[in-house]
């Protein structure tokens, strides 16, 4: 979930200065409009320590007209608060129509802290999150716009920040024992945050996750996001939509955000003889491991997604060479049949779930919903926006059942793709693979790339993480997949 947000993204002082005054004008403009339209807005800022929550909230207070907004930070409940149900203080603080309420962590604070310090377990945490979802749904149903932002830092970034502050005598006082303690809890905290964000990223109130390391970047990004969400909402309202969930499901994509894909190293290579040696080794291991899984009645689902010509077919063949033909099926996913079209879009994937000990390999998958169907407008915005959590739920059912689920995104650069298209056109028996459509798709590369980034952010879960494979070099890419597959089997089946 935090893969993309681990990447630092920098906006220079010059660019920041250039953009900021225009942005502030726009912010005041949407604020005025929402006041006239009577739209209540909740802006909730949360994230890891040191990622700039405080700075961001101060900035919003500076940039918005403070007369029509209010900021709320909650610490230990007062007597007054403790003597009422624990959501009482949040209810009392909610902004009226036409106003903005900014929340530092808000209702997420107590359950997350309780979980981090093991005062509650996962079951109780989940119950609290159901409670929070009900609250947010109720408010959204009533017409409130809820914008939730999560500021992330990689562990290294968090360490760097603390070191920087400690070095400077003028800022040393800002590093407390609590910070040092939190740094130790980093991994645990981020694991819990992932669960919280996954369970509460709903159609009504999705989370925006960004890297918070660079002050300029986080300020501009959140401000832009606010302008976009508020404007979209006001426009939908003026078009006569009421407060249905659908109209709130505007994509939460950050256009100027960092791209996971662009951060990959396209230069990774493997020579032919090295490749052949490793391939034989990997296939041997896979053969053994899948046999063991079969004996233990553990089934497997492999999902392959990636750019056209990224080598999905090639790597699938290298895997199936190592499998017993009676035990696997490859499901190539193209346009749905008539029968499939007459069901829910997940139905055609449910059909092919493997029995105990069997393997199903999906060559493209349910992720089509948030990739091609999104980019080509085959699904409505509310449909694909809703799909992220539907897919997470679906995959949770699979892994809860004990299925080993692995997902690969095969990545190549745009140039490499063109090269491969041209090669295919030259080879007679591969020419059929290239159509006009493939070239048309290339024109939408940026849109697809944005969709892939959002997909990976929102559907990488601890039970089903995405594995992004640098596949500019075919040999390298294949070995990466095969090795990661072995690792997945070994970690689930034991030694």
The 8-class DSSP code of residue 101 comes to: E
The 8-class DSSP code of residue 371 comes to: T
CB of 439 to a second copy, least distance (A): 33
CB of 31 to a second copy, least distance (A): 16
State both tokens at 154. 């990689």
State both tokens at 260. 């996971």
Nearer to a second copy, 119 or 134 (CB): 134
Could you tell me which of 306, 208, 193 has the C-alpha nearest to residue 256? 208
Nearer to a second copy, 91 or 117 (CB): 91
Q: List, in order, residues 6 or more apart from 6 with CB less than 8 Å away.
A: 152, 154, 211
Nearer to a second copy, 401 or 439 (CB): 401
Q: CA-based angle 45:46:49, to the nearest 5?
A: 130
Nearer to a second copy, 22 or 79 (CB): 79
CB of 85 to a second copy, least distance (A): 4
CB of 454 to a second copy, least distance (A): 19
* Backbone φ, ψ for residue 146 (5° rounding): -115, 120
Nearer to a second copy, 127 or 280 (CB): 127
How far the first Cα of the chain sits from its last, in Å, is 28
User: Distance between CA 235 and CA 237 in Å, rounded?
Assistant: 5
Nearer to a second copy, 182 or 369 (CB): 369
Q: For residues 333 and 445, is the Cβ–Cβ distance under 8 A?
A: no
User: Distance between CA 484 and CA 474 in Å, rounded?
Assistant: 15
Q: H-helix or E-strand containing 151? A: strand 145-152
Q: CA-based angle 18:250:103, to the nearest 5?
A: 70
User: Distance between CA 413 and CA 456 in Å, rounded?
Assistant: 17
> What DSSP assignment string belongs to 410-455?
EE--HHHHHHHHHHHHHSGGGGGG--HHHHHHHHTHHHHHHHHHHH
Q: For residues 156 and 50, is the Cβ–Cβ distance under 8 A?
A: no
CB of 450 to a second copy, least distance (A): 24
CB of 352 to a second copy, least distance (A): 10
CA atoms within 13 A on the CB side of 156: 4
CB of 233 to a second copy, least distance (A): 16
Nearer to a second copy, 86 or 419 (CB): 86
Nearer to a second copy, 6 or 136 (CB): 136
Nearer to a second copy, 215 or 244 (CB): 244
Could you tell me which of 90, 419, 482, 56 has the C-alpha nearest to residue 290? 482
Could you tell me which of 279, 107, 194, 74 has the C-alpha nearest to residue 460? 194
Q: List, in order, residues 6 or more apart from 421 with CB less than 8 Å away.
A: 308, 309, 434, 438, 439
Q: List, in order, residues 6 or more apart from 278 with CB less than 8 Å away.
A: 270, 479, 482, 483
Could you tell me which of 31, 177, 161, 156 has the C-alpha nearest to residue 98? 31
Nearer to a second copy, 87 or 174 (CB): 87
Nearer to a second copy, 42 or 151 (CB): 42
CB of 401 to a second copy, least distance (A): 4
**Residues at the interface with a second copy (CB under 8 A):** 38, 40, 80, 83-88, 91-92, 94, 96-98, 123, 126-127, 130-131, 134, 138-139, 141-142, 144, 242, 244-246, 297, 299, 339, 342-347, 350-351, 353, 355-356, 380, 386, 390, 393, 397-398, 400-401, 403
Nearer to a second copy, 128 or 228 (CB): 128
CB of 360 to a second copy, least distance (A): 11
CB of 408 to a second copy, least distance (A): 22
Longest distance between any two alpha carbons in the chain, whole Å = 79
The 8-class DSSP code of residue 100 comes to: E
Could you tell me which of 435, 477, 4, 71 has the C-alpha nearest to residue 221? 4
CB of 175 to a second copy, least distance (A): 38
Could you tell me which of 451, 471, 366 has the C-alpha nearest to residue 409? 471
CB of 144 to a second copy, least distance (A): 8
CB of 390 to a second copy, least distance (A): 6
Nearer to a second copy, 292 or 424 (CB): 292
């Amino acid at each position: 979930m935090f893969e993309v947000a681990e990447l630092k993204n920098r906006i220079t002082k010059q660019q920041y200065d250039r953009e900021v005054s225009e942005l502030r004008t726009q912010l005041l403009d949407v604020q005025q409009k929402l006041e006239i339209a009577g739209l209540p807005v909740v802006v909730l800022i949360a994230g890891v320590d040191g990622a700039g929550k405080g700075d961001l909230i101060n900035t919003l207070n500076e940039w918005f007209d403070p007369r029509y907004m209010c900021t709320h930070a909650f610490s230990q409940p007062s007597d007054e608060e403790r003597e009422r149900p624990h959501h009482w203080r949040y209810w009392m603080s909610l902004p009226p129509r036409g106003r903005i309420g900014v929340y530092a962590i808000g209702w997420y604070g107590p359950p997350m802290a309780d979980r981090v310090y093991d005062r509650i377990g996962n079951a109780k945490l989940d119950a609290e999150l159901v409670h929070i979802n009900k609250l947010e749904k109720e408010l959204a149903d009533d017409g409130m716009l809820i914008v939730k932002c999560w500021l992330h830092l990689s562990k290294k970034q968090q360490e760097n920040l603390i070191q920087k502050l400690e070095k400077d005598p003028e800022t040393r006082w800002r590093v407390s024992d609590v910070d040092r303690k939190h740094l130790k809890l980093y991994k645990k905290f981020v694991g819990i945050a992932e669960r919280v964000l996954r369970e509460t990223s709903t159609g009504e109130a999705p989370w925006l996750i960004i890297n918070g390391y660079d002050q300029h970047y986080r300020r501009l990004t959140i401000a832009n996001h606010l302008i976009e969400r508020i404007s979209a909402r006001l426009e939908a309202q003026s078009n006569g939509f009421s407060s249905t969930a659908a109209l709130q499901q505007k994509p939460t994509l950050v256009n100027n955000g960092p791209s996971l894909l662009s951060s990959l190293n396209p230069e990774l290579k493997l020579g032919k003889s090295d490749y052949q040696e490793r391939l034989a080794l990997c296939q041997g291991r896979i053969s053994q491991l899948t046999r063991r899984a079969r004996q233990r009645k553990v089934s497997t689902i492999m999902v392959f997604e990636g750019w056209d010509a990224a080598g999905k077919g090639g790597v699938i063949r290298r895997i199936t060479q190592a499998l017993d033909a009676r035990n696997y099926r490859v499901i190539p996913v193209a346009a749905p049949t008539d029968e499939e079209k007459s069901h829910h879009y997940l139905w055609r994937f449910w059909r092919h779930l493997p029995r105990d000990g069997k393997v199903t390999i999906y060559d493209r998958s349910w992720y089509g919903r948030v990739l091609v169907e999104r980019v080509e407008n085959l699904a409505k915005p509310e449909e694909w926006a809703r799909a992220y959590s539907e897919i997470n739920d679906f995959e949770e059912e699979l892994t809860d059942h004990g299925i080993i689920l692995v997902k690969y995104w095969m990545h190549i650069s745009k140039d490499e793709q063109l090269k491969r298209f041209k090669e295919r056109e030259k080879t007679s028996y591969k020419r059929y693979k290239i159509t006009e459509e493939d070239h048309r798709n290339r024109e939408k590369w940026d849109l697809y790339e944005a969709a892939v980034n959002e997909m990976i952010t929102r559907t990488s879960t601890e039970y089903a993480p995405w594995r992004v494979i640098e596949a500019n070099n075919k040999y390298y890419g294949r070995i990466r997949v095969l090795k990661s597959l072995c690792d997945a089997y070994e970690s689930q089946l034991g030694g």
